[in-house]
């Protein structure tokens, strides 16, 4: 029996639209225009260099939000969108802050959603760490997501570096696609808060059967590594075919 496909449209930054079983799911809504600036501790920290490639996103049925406390995962327009979305899954602390239709999930907690056509999608929260060991009290809670649908799994790392939590996802699942939040983000300070090329390669070897799809690597001033750097690193190690770069705005079947 053939696997049921999902479709993905990459809008830029960490934001994609996944069409899964007739549901339209958005990750980390960042919909502000280019030039918008953001603060950390009342100081200018970073800004958008590109807006979303699509501004009319249509009806969104669900949001999977890695975390709410950083604007490059939930910006001003993204927050406005949440008010129109029936269900948002995020961290437990984030759900307390967002209220409304937000539901917090602890790592390895699962929910099953029934689509309008009666198909089942299981959403499992996965561990994530937003930088090096010890960063939690500074960066706050973050989470990733594992989607199971139509006999396949799809893993969204959320804002994380490669660490034991990501390795535990590899030990407990077998995703066909891994969406890595890349870019080696450094808004202020010396730490990479998202995956660098090294982390991306470690993730690829931890999930040897998966295609690696990078997001969160362009469109913001604090991303320090590019798509070209990812391509070069995968090519150098002889696994270029494992990397799948999405064309912004193009609806792609997986």
Q: What residues contact residue 138 under an 8 Å CB cut-off, 6+ apart?
A: 131
Picking from 119, 134, 176, 185, the residue whose alpha carbon sits closest to that of residue 158 is 185
**So what's the pLDDT on residue 22?**
87
Q: State the pLDDT confidence band at 3, using cuts at 50, 70 and 90.
A: low
**So what's the pLDDT on residue 4?**
76
**So what's the pLDDT on residue 115?**
85
- Options 1.10.287.3510, 3.30.2130.10, 3.60.15.10, 2.40.50.140; CATH of 7-249: 3.60.15.10
**So what's the pLDDT on residue 2?**
54
**So what's the pLDDT on residue 44?**
84
Query: pLDDT tens across 154-208, in order?
Result: 999 999 999 999 999 999 999 999 999 999 999 877 899 999 999 999 999 999 9
Whole-model pTM over 0.75 = yes
Return d(Cα 85, Cα 75) in angstroms, integer: 15
Return d(Cα 41, Cα 183) in angstroms, integer: 22
**So what's the pLDDT on residue 1?**
42
Q: State the pLDDT confidence band at 34, using cuts at 50, 70 and 90.
A: very high
**So what's the pLDDT on residue 65?**
98
């Amino acid at each position: 029996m053939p696997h049921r496909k999902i479709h993905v449209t990459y809008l830029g930054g960490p934001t994609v639209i996944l069409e899964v079983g007739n549901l339209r799911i958005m990750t980390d809504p960042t919909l502000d225009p280019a030039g918008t600036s953001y603060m950390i501790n009342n100081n200018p920290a970073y800004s958008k260099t590109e807006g979303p490639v699509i501004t009319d996103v249509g009806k969104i049925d669900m949001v999977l939000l890695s975390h709410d406390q950083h604007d490059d995962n939930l910006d001003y327009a993204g927050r406005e969108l949440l008010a129109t979305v029936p269900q948002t899954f995020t961290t437990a602390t984030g759900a307390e802050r967002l209220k409304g239709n937000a539901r917090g999930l602890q790592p390895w907690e699962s929910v099953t959603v029934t689509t309008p056509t009666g198909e089942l999608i299981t959403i499992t929260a996965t561990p994530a760490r937003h930088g090096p060991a010890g960063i939690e009290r500074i960066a706050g809670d973050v989470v990733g997501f594992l989607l199971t649908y139509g006999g396949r799994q799809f893993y969204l790392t959320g804002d994380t570096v490669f660490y034991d939590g990501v390795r535990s996802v590899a030990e407990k699942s077998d995703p066909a696609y891994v969406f890595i939040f890349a870019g080696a983000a450094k808004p202020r300070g010396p730490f990479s808060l998202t995956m660098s090329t090294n982390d991306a390669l470690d993730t690829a070897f931890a999930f040897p059967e998966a295609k690696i799809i990078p997001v969160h690597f362009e469109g913001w001033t604090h991303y320090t590594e590019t798509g070209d750097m990812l391509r070069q690193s995968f090519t150098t190690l002889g696994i270029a075919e494992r990397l799948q770069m999405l064309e912004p705005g193009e609806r792609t079947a997986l």
